[in-house]
Structure 1
Amino acid sequence: MEKTKDREHDSRRAFIVKAAFACTGLPFLGRAMAFPSHSQKPLKGNNMKTENLKTSIIGGYGQWAGGLSDNPPNLSFRNETWEHVEPWKKTASEKARELVAAPKITRDSAVNVVKKYTYDGLEVEELSWQLSNGGRPTQAILLKPQGAKGKLPAILALHDHGGNKYFGKRKITKVSDEMHPMMEAHQKLYYSGRAWANDIAKKGYVVLVHDTFTFGSRRVQYQDIAGIPWGDCSVEGKTDQNPEELANIQVYNRWAAYHEHIMSKSLFCAGTTWPGVTLAEDRAALDVLIERPDVDTGNIGCGGLSGGGLRTDYLAGLDPRIKCAVSVGFMSTWKDFVENKSYTHTWMTFTPLLPQYLDFPEILGLRVPLATLVQSNNEDNLYTHAEMKKADGILREVYAKAGAADNYRGKFYDGDHKFDSKMQADAFDWFDSWLK
C-alpha cells in the first residue's frame, strides 16, 4: 500500500514538474512583452534574425528611431571630449541617477530574524523587513558556511524575472529537501539544477537573496487592487487563497504580465521609473547586508541572471559599494532594443531619455575601474548576437580608456539563455579573485 502511494506521489510530482516547464513559458503576450527571461527555451522557429533584415519591430520607423541617439551618446566616456575618468564618472553618474529617478525608500522596521537553522552545510536565516514604499514586508534568505567565524566577503544574489512573479528568492536558493516543483523545474532549466546562491555561500561568503519589487513577498496581490474594471487586468474570479497550487500560480503570472503595463505607467506618472524603484529596493537590501557584523564591508559583490543581470547592471553601475559585479544574460545595446528586441523585455529595463546620454552597457560601465564580468550566451534569443558583441566592445573600450582593461572581462558561451554550471564556476572564480 505504501509503495502504491509512493508511486502515485512520484507520478503526480513528475506531472507537476512537467507542467511547470510548460506553464512558465506563458502565452505570447507574456513571453513577448513582459519578461526579461522566458521560462521556456526560445522557440527556434520564432527566432527572428533581425540583424540580417532591414525590417524592425516598429516597422518602417526602426532605422529612424535607432538613429535618434548620437553614437556614441552625449555622456559616453568614448567621446573624445572626455579625457579623464573621474570627471566623466561624476557627470555621467549624476545624469543617470537623475533619469533613473530612484525614489527614497527606507526601512520602516528592524530586520527581523524569522527563523534560523542549518541546511546542507550552511547556516540559514530567514529575514524580513518593511520598506517605506508600501507593500508587504520584504522576505529574504541569508546563507553562510556553517561554523564560519569572523567577517566574510559577501554577495547580494539577485533573482531573475523568468516570467514568474509569484516567486523571487526561491528561484536561486534551496533551504529544504522539499522544493516547489516549479522551482525544481526553474533551476533545472536555467541553472544546471543548482541553487547557485547556496553554492557560492559554501565557498566562504555571506549571501543575501531578497524578494525585490513585485516579486515573491513583494508581489501585488489581488485583494489590494480589487475593482480594476477592464480586460485581462480584472481580478474578478481570482483568489489569493491556496497560492502555492500550480494552477493558481499560472493564473497569477499571466495576470502579472498584463499588470506590468499599469504599474509602469503609474510609476512614470509618479515621477519615477521601474528601474528606479527596483534599484532603491536592491540598495535597501545592500544596506541590510552591510550592517551585519559578519560581513567584510569592503568586499561585497552582486550578480544574477537575466532580470538579476539587469538589476546588476543598474545596482553595480550606480552604487560603488559593489566591489565586484557579475552580470549574466542581460547585456546588449539600446539600438538592439529599439529595432529588434524591446518586446522580449520587461518594463524593469527601460529608463526614458537615458539613451540620449549613455548606451545601455555604459550604465554598468559607470563603475569603472571596479571589477566587472559580463557573461553572455551566443544563442540567447533575447538579443541579437551582433549587438551583444557590440555591447562587449563598448565596455572593453571604456575600461581600456580608463586604464583598467584587466578589471573587465566579457565571456561568451554556447547555448541559449542560462547561467549553467560552467558559467557559475567562472563567475565564482571571478568573485574569489576580487573579493578574497
Structure 2
Amino acid sequence: MEPLEQYMKKLAGSAQRNSAFSKDMPFQQWRDELTAAFTERLGGFPEIAEELQPVLLERTVCSGYTRERIEITTYEGLRMPLYLLIPDQPFSTPAPAPAVLAIHGHGYGSREIVGLNPDGSDRQGDPGLHKDFAVSLVKQGFVVAATELLGFGDRRLEEDLTSGEPGRNSCFRLSSALLMVGKTMAGYRIYETMRALDYLQTRKEVESERIGIMGISGGGLVAGFTAALDERIACAVVSGYANTFVDSILTRNHCLDNYIPGILLEAEMPDLLGLIAPRGLFLESGDADHLFGPRGTKFALTQLQTIYRSANHIGQVEADFFTGGHEIHGEPAFAWLRKQLT
C-alpha cells in the first residue's frame, strides 16, 4: 500500500481540470467559460446588490494623508468596515486620483496594514509581514481602501472577540457554516471586495477607471481572484500567494478559508489568476516563504506567461523574487503600480 501522502498527491494531480487553459481554444471563449465555472465553485454571487449605505465611523488627520473608517453593506444583513486613506498630495493632480484596494492576510485585520494596534491606537513596534503596506501606498499618492475581511478584526464571532487574543480569527467556524449551505469564504470575501470597489467608485477623490488591488497571503487570494472576476480592476499585485494549489495549500494544514470545493476539477491556480489577462498582474515571492514557496510561484509564472502570450500581452505579467519570507516586499510592486495606474 502506498503512503497516504502519495495517494492524496496523485488524487489531486489526476483531477480533470475541465476548464484549464488551452492554446487550442480562443482566449475569450476560455476566459468566459472558466469565469462562469469559477464563480459557481465559489458559491455564486447575489444577483441584486444591496444599497451600500455608507456610514463614517471616524476621521483622523495623519502625516500626509487623512484616514477615515467607513462601514458599508455587502450582503443583506452584513456590514463591512474599511479604512479609506486619502493622500494630501495625490501623484496625479488635479483630483480625482488612482486608487488601490489593500487586502490584509491572517492577523488582526485592517488595522494591521494601516499602522494601528488592534485597539486602534498608533503602533510604534514591528509592522510584521504586512509592513503597513496600505500606508506605503497612500504615501505613493494613491487613495487606498483597506477592507476588513470577514472573520478578522471587528468581524469575528463573539467567542473570538472576547477571547483577549487580537490575532485569533473566526475563519474555521465561518468557513464551515458557509460550506454547509453551498457557499465559500473565498466567495464571500471576493464579493465583499467587489462591494468595496463599488464604494470607491462613488468617491469624488477617486478616478474610477484607475483602480488596482494588492493583497498578501490570504489577502493575495482575495486580491488575485477579485481581479480575475471583476474587470473594473485595472491591475493586481499578488504577494505571498500565487502558486499552485498542489504545491501550496495541499502540502500542509492551512486555514479552511483557502479551500474551494471541486476547484481542481476546473483548473489550477495559475489558470484562475490568468483570468486577469490582459490586465496587469505582478507577483511577489520571498525565497524563504514557507507557505507559498518560490518553486511553485515560478511554475505559476511560466503558466501565466503562456496565458498572457495568448492574450497578446506577455509584458503585462511580471514578478519580484526577493530575499525574504512570507511578507510584503514593497518598492518594486509600488513602482509597478505607479506605472500601471498613471
TM-score (norm 1): 0.71
Q: Report the counterpart of residue 119 of structure 1 in structure 2.
A: 62
AA matched with 1:151: P
Query: Using the alignment, how far apart are the partners of 2:293 and 2:67 within structure 1?
Result: 40
**Any conservation in 1 of the 2:172–2:255 contact (CA below 8 Å)?**
no
Q: Offset at 1:338?
A: 6.8
Q: Offset at 1:367?
A: 1.2
Q: Offset at 1:331?
A: 1.6
Please list the CA deviations of residues 95-146 of structure 1 after superposition, one character each: whole Å capped at 9, or x if unmatched. Answer: 11111124328445521122333111102222112343435x4222111212
Q: 2:8 aligns with which of 26, 45, 62?
A: 62
AA matched with 1:90: D
**Any conservation in 1 of the 2:294–2:321 contact (CA below 8 Å)?**
no
Query: SS of 2:187's equivalent?
Result: helix
Report the CA distance shift for 1:85/1:433 in structure 2 as closer, same or farther (over 3 A): same
1:27-38 paired onto structure 2 within 5 Å? none
Q: Which moved more, 1:61-70 or 1:196-205?
A: 61-70
Query: SS of 1:431's equivalent?
Result: helix
Query: Using the alignment, how far apart are the partners of 1:147 and 1:370 within structure 2?
Result: 27
Q: Offset at 1:179?
A: 6.5
Identity of aligned residues (%): 25
The alignment status of 1:142 with 2:76, answered yes or no, reads no
Query: SS of 1:216's equivalent?
Result: coil
Query: SS of 2:238's equivalent?
Result: strand
AA matched with 2:98: P
Please list the CA deviations of residues 171-209 of structure 1 after superposition, one character each: whole Å capped at 9, or x if unmatched. Answer: 110369x9659x65561x324xx4221221122211111
1:344-363 paired onto structure 2 within 5 Å? 345-363=254-272
Query: SS of 2:149's equivalent?
Result: coil
The alignment status of 1:416 with 2:325, answered yes or no, reads yes
**Any conservation in 1 of the 2:154–2:161 contact (CA below 8 Å)?**
no
Query: SS of 2:302's equivalent?
Result: helix
Q: 1:281 aligns with which of 185, 192, 203?
A: 192
**Any conservation in 2 of the 1:329–1:376 contact (CA below 8 Å)?**
yes
Q: Report the counterpart of residue 249 of structure 1 in structure 2.
A: 165
Equivalenced residues, count? 336
**Any conservation in 1 of the 2:53–2:72 contact (CA below 8 Å)?**
yes
AA matched with 2:87: P
Report the CA distance shift for 1:123/1:175 in structure 2 as closer, same or farther (over 3 A): farther
Report the CA distance shift for 1:107/1:120 in structure 2 as closer, same or farther (over 3 A): farther
Where do 5+ consecutive residues of structure 2 fail to align? none
Q: Report the counterpart of residue 154 of structure 1 in structure 2.
A: 99
**Any conservation in 1 of the 2:211–2:341 contact (CA below 8 Å)?**
yes
**Any conservation in 1 of the 2:216–2:239 contact (CA below 8 Å)?**
yes
Report the CA distance shift for 1:80/1:143 in structure 2 as closer, same or farther (over 3 A): closer
Report the CA distance shift for 1:239/1:416 in structure 2 as closer, same or farther (over 3 A): closer
Q: Offset at 1:265?
A: 2.6
Report the CA distance shift for 1:273/1:407 in structure 2 as closer, same or farther (over 3 A): same
Query: Using the alignment, how far apart are the partners of 2:327 and 2:208 within structure 1?
Result: 30
Report the CA distance shift for 1:174/1:387 in structure 2 as closer, same or farther (over 3 A): closer
**Any conservation in 2 of the 1:124–1:175 contact (CA below 8 Å)?**
no
Q: Offset at 1:60?
A: 4.0
Q: 1:290 aligns with which of 201, 205, 213?
A: 201
Query: Using the alignment, how far apart are the partners of 2:74 and 2:216 within structure 1?
Result: 25
Please list the CA deviations of residues 35-94 of structure 1 after superposition, one character each: whole Å capped at 9, or x if unmatched. Answer: xxxxxxxxxxxxxxxxxxxx97x4341342132224xx32222x2431x21111111111
**Any conservation in 1 of the 2:41–2:262 contact (CA below 8 Å)?**
yes
Normalized per residue, the structure richer in helix is 1
Query: Using the alignment, how far apart are the partners of 2:9 and 2:72 within structure 1?
Result: 47
Normalized per residue, the structure richer in strand is 2
Q: Which moved more, 1:377-386 or 1:282-291?
A: 377-386
Query: Using the alignment, how far apart are the partners of 2:309 and 2:43 within structure 1?
Result: 29
Query: Using the alignment, how far apart are the partners of 2:85 and 2:183 within structure 1?
Result: 33
The alignment status of 1:215 with 2:159, answered yes or no, reads no
Q: Report the counterpart of residue 335 of structure 2 in structure 1.
A: 429
Query: Using the alignment, how far apart are the partners of 2:218 and 2:242 within structure 1?
Result: 11
Q: Offset at 1:372?
A: 0.4
Query: SS of 2:151's equivalent?
Result: coil
Query: Using the alignment, how far apart are the partners of 1:384 and 1:434 within structure 2?
Result: 26
Query: Using the alignment, how far apart are the partners of 2:217 and 2:9 within structure 1?
Result: 27
Q: Offset at 1:263?
A: 2.5
**Any conservation in 1 of the 2:98–2:143 contact (CA below 8 Å)?**
yes
Q: Offset at 1:337?
A: 4.1
TM-score (norm 2): 0.89
AA matched with 1:340: T
